[in-house]
Structure 1
Amino acid sequence: MSAGPATILVYVGLDAVGDGLMKLAFLRALKAAFPQARITWMAGKGHTVYAGILAPLVEGLVSEVLDQAGIGSRASELFGRRPLAGRTFDLIVDTQRRLLTSLILRRIGHERFISAAAGFLLSDARPPAGYRRPASMVAQLMDLVQLASGQPADACAPLPNDAAIAAAAAALLPDGACYVGLAPGAGGRIKCWPLERFIAVARRQAELGRVPVFLLGPAEADWAGAIREQVPNARFPLQEAAAVTPMLTIALGRRMGAAIANDSGTGHMLALADIPLVSLFGPTPADKFAPAARTLTVLRADNWGSDKMDAIPETAVLAALDKCLL
C-alpha cells in the first residue's frame, strides 16, 4: 500500500472569511485522508484569511501558508521560470477551475495533479463517466479529496482546541446546563428569520429547562435588550467576552446541545463545532451555501412556497430542534 503523499500543495485564488470557514471542511477531510502530509496552502491571486484572522483555526492542519503569491493569473507564467521554482510536491490540489490558472499550476514540480478545470482534462484522476458537479462548493472540494485519496472524503480531522479559549468558553457557559444556540443575525436582513420567532423558540427552550444562548454579532448587539426582556434566562456570551474571535464562537458552540442559525458566518462556525445544527434558508440557495455540519437539518422557505424567511414556520423549527436534542 502506498504511504500517501508527504507534501501537498493546495491552490486557491483567495479566501475571504466566509470562504475560509466553508473550506475548513475540505481541509479537515484532506488532513484526515493524509494525516502525515505537510500541507502548503497557497493563495495565488489575493489574501487568504488562513494567513490572518483564521490562522489559529488551521494550526496543525496546514504547515505553511503562501499568501498573495502572485501565481496563476498571467499567460506569461506559461513560459520561462517555473512557479515556485526549486520546489516539488507529491500532490497538488487545484481548487479552482480556470484553465489558464491550472495550466500554470501544472508547471510546478509535482507527482500527481488533481483539478476540475476543463472537465478534469488536466487531472491525474477523474470521476467516473456521468459525473455531475454538485452545486455545493464544499461538496465540489470534497470530490477533489476523494479523487486524490481514492476513498470517500470525511471531514473528521480535529480542529485546534486552544486551552485558554476553551476555558473562556467554559466560564461563559458553565457546566451543568443544556445550552441551545440561537444565531439570529446574517450578512443581510433578507437572510434573517424574524427575530420574534427566534425569541419564541428561546422561550420554549426555557420552558423545557434548557438555556437559550444568543450569539449576537456587532450588527445585532442592540437586540440584546429586547431579548432579555422576553427571555430572562437567555445568555449572551459574545457580549460578555473579553475578546470575540471565531475560535471563541466555535468553542462556545462545542458547549451547546444544538443550535439554530440563518445562512451566516456564525452558522458556519457552529457547524465547525460538530454539534447538531438547524440551518434556515430563504433567498440564498441552500444547495450551494449550506454549512458542512456533521449533523445538519436544513429548512428552506421554498418548501413553504416562498423565498422569504418568514415563510418558515415556528413549528417546523421547534420540531427540528427537538429532534436534534433527543
Structure 2
Amino acid sequence: MATDLDLKNILVMHFGQLGDVILGLPALQALREHFADAKITLMHGKPPTEVLKLANVADEYIPVDRVALRDGNKLKSIAEMGRLILYIRRRSFDMVVDLHSLPETNLLGRVAGIPNRLYGNRESRSIDSLSNFRPKPALEDKSKHATDRYLDVILPLEIEPRRAPVKLFPRQEDVDSVVAKYPNVFGDGGGSLVGLFPGAGNPSRCWPIDKFAALAGALIDDGLLPVIFLGPEEFEMRPQVERTFPEGAVIVDGLSITEFLAALSDLAVFVGNDTGPVHLAACVATPTVLLIDEKAPLTYLPNNHELTVVGDGPIASISVESVYRATTAVLEQTRPGANDKRNVE
C-alpha cells in the first residue's frame, strides 16, 4: 500500500509526444502535490521540456531523445541506454512511475534496479509483469479521455484524481521577446488577433490550406487580424502559405515553444488542426476551435474548458462557413458585438 512506503526520491517517466504530455499534466501535478516532501525527477522526451518546466511538475528534468534511441544508430542507442541505466542506478530512486508506459521505459526501470515500479497497464503496449506495485492499475480503458487514463495510473497511490486543466503562465521575457519580434502584431491586439495553425503531423489531419486562406479573408473583412503560425515542421509549407493567404494576414514563425505560448496567450481565439499547438493553446486557456475528421478519436481532445470542435465530416470537406461561424461565435463571447455575422463561401 502507498501509505506503507516512505518515498523520498521518485522517478516519473512520460515519453509521450507533446500533446500526450500536456494531457498528462494533471497527473504529473497530482504526483508533485501528493509527494510534496519527496524529490520528483521527471524523465521525458525532448520537445515538451520547456512546457514541463513552466508547469513546475518536478524538481529535476531529464530530457531524452527517444526518437534517436528508437530510430538512430543502433550502437549509439545501446550505448545511450547503458548510460541512462547507470545514471538511474546511481540516483537510488525509491520508486518509478511510468505514465505513458512503453516496453523500453518499463525495461529501463526494471534493469536500473528501482525497487517500487508502478507502470501504466496498456494492453499490447507495456510489459505488465515488470510492474510490481500493488494494487496495480486497472487495464487501460481506451474509451476514456487520455487525461483520465493517466490519472488512473496513479490511483493505486491513493491520489484523488482531478481532471482540471493545468494553466501555464508565459514568462515575461517570452512576452517581451514576441513583441520585439512582431511589434505590430502582439502586445496590443485589443482582442482582434485570431491565430490559425494550418499544419499537423500527418496530412490526413490537415484542413486544406485554401480553406484556411478563405477563412482568413473573411476575418480580415470583419476587421480582425489573422495570424498564421508556422512551426519547424511547417517550413516547407511557407511558400504555399505566402501564395495562398490574402494580404493583411500575418505569418509568424521562428518562435521557441515558450514564445509560442506567450503569443497564444495574446489571441482572442485559436483555430487549428488536431496537433500539438491546440494543446498548447489549452495550456494558456485560449479559446480554441479544433478542426478534426469525423473519424478522429475524441479521447485525445485538448483538456480545455473553452473548446469548440468542428468535425462533422471528412476534414477536407469541412466548410469555411462552419469554421467561420464557430470562430465568430467564440469571438462574440469574448468581444460582444464585434462581428457582423455574414455568410462566407
SS at match of 2:94: strand
Q: Which of 197, 209, 229 in structure 1 is aligned with 2:211?
A: 197
- Quote the Cα distance in structure 2 between the aligned partners of 1:86 and 1:182: 44
Q: Who is 1:210 aligned against?
A: 224
SS at match of 2:170: coil
SS at match of 1:88: coil
- Quote the Cα distance in structure 2 between the aligned partners of 1:319 and 1:205: 11
SS at match of 1:132: coil
Residue 239 (structure 2) pairs with residue 222 (structure 1): yes
Q: Who is 1:30 aligned against?
A: 28
Residue 194 (structure 2) pairs with residue 180 (structure 1): yes
Query: Given residue 50 of structure 2, which amino acid in structure 1 is its aligned partner?
Result: P
Tell me if structure 2 keeps the 8 A contact 1:277–1:297: yes
Change (3 A) 1:10 1:33: closer
SS at match of 2:162: coil
Once the two structures are TM-superposed, the CA of residue 193 in structure 1 deviates from its matched residue by 0.9
TM-score, length of structure 1 as denominator length: 0.72
Once the two structures are TM-superposed, the CA of residue 27 in structure 1 deviates from its matched residue by 3.1
Q: Who is 1:64 aligned against?
A: 60
Once the two structures are TM-superposed, the CA of residue 218 in structure 1 deviates from its matched residue by 1.4
Query: Given residue 181 of structure 1, which amino acid in structure 2 is its aligned partner?
Result: G
Query: Given residue 234 of structure 1, which amino acid in structure 2 is its aligned partner?
Result: A
Tell me, which stretches of 5 or more residues in structure 1 are unaligned?
Answer: none
Once the two structures are TM-superposed, the CA of residue 315 in structure 1 deviates from its matched residue by 2.7
Tell me if structure 2 keeps the 8 A contact 1:56–1:247: yes
Change (3 A) 1:68 1:91: closer
Q: Which of 131, 142, 155 in structure 2 is aligned with 1:133?
A: 142
Q: Who is 2:262 aligned against?
A: 251
After superposition, give the CA deviation of every residue in 1:71-113 in whole Å (9 maximum; x if it has no partner).
Answer: xx99xx9xxx996256233663443154963882794134x73
SS at match of 1:236: strand
SS at match of 2:310: strand
After superposition, give the CA deviation of every residue in 1:11-34 in whole Å (9 maximum; x if it has no partner).
Answer: 24x45xxx0342133135422553
Q: Who is 1:153 aligned against?
A: 162
Q: Which of 279, 296, 300 in structure 2 is aligned with 1:268?
A: 279
SS at match of 2:195: strand
- Quote the Cα distance in structure 2 between the aligned partners of 1:102 and 1:154: 29
Tell me if structure 2 keeps the 8 A contact 1:30–1:153: no
Tell me if structure 2 keeps the 8 A contact 1:187–1:264: yes
SS at match of 2:163: coil
Once the two structures are TM-superposed, the CA of residue 252 in structure 1 deviates from its matched residue by 0.8
SS at match of 1:174: coil
- Quote the Cα distance in structure 2 between the aligned partners of 1:65 and 1:195: 37
Q: Which of 107, 115, 120 in structure 2 is aligned with 1:115?
A: 120
Tell me if structure 2 keeps the 8 A contact 1:286–1:298: no
Once the two structures are TM-superposed, the CA of residue 137 in structure 1 deviates from its matched residue by 4.4
Please report the RMSD computed on the Cα atoms of aligned residues, expressed in angstroms.
3.9
- Quote the Cα distance in structure 1 between the aligned partners of 2:316 and 2:214: 13
Q: Who is 2:178 aligned against?
A: 169
- Quote the Cα distance in structure 2 between the aligned partners of 1:108 and 1:124: 15
- Quote the Cα distance in structure 1 between the aligned partners of 2:49 and 2:113: 28
Q: Which of 248, 259, 264 in structure 2 is aligned with 1:233?
A: 248
Change (3 A) 1:147 1:311: farther
After superposition, give the CA deviation of every residue in 1:269-310 in whole Å (9 maximum; x if it has no partner).
Answer: 33333212222223873335433434323333xx43xxx422
TM-score, length of structure 2 as denominator length: 0.69
Q: Who is 2:316 aligned against?
A: 310
Tell me if structure 1 keeps the 8 A contact 2:118–2:136: no
Query: Given residue 25 of structure 1, which amino acid in structure 2 is its aligned partner?
Result: L
SS at match of 1:213: strand
Once the two structures are TM-superposed, the CA of residue 257 in structure 1 deviates from its matched residue by 1.6
Alignment of 1:84-95 (within 5 A): 84=89, 87-89=92-94, 92-95=97-100
Tell me if structure 1 keeps the 8 A contact 2:145–2:299: yes
After superposition, give the CA deviation of every residue in 1:202-243 in whole Å (9 maximum; x if it has no partner).
Answer: 222233332211112312211343345x2x3322232xxxx4
Q: Who is 1:319 aligned against?
A: 325
Query: Given residue 124 of structure 1, which amino acid in structure 2 is its aligned partner?
Result: R
Q: Which runs of 4+ in 1 moved over 6 A?
A: 118-121
Once the two structures are TM-superposed, the CA of residue 197 in structure 1 deviates from its matched residue by 1.6
Q: How many residue pairs get matched?
A: 295
Once the two structures are TM-superposed, the CA of residue 153 in structure 1 deviates from its matched residue by 3.0
Change (3 A) 1:174 1:160: closer
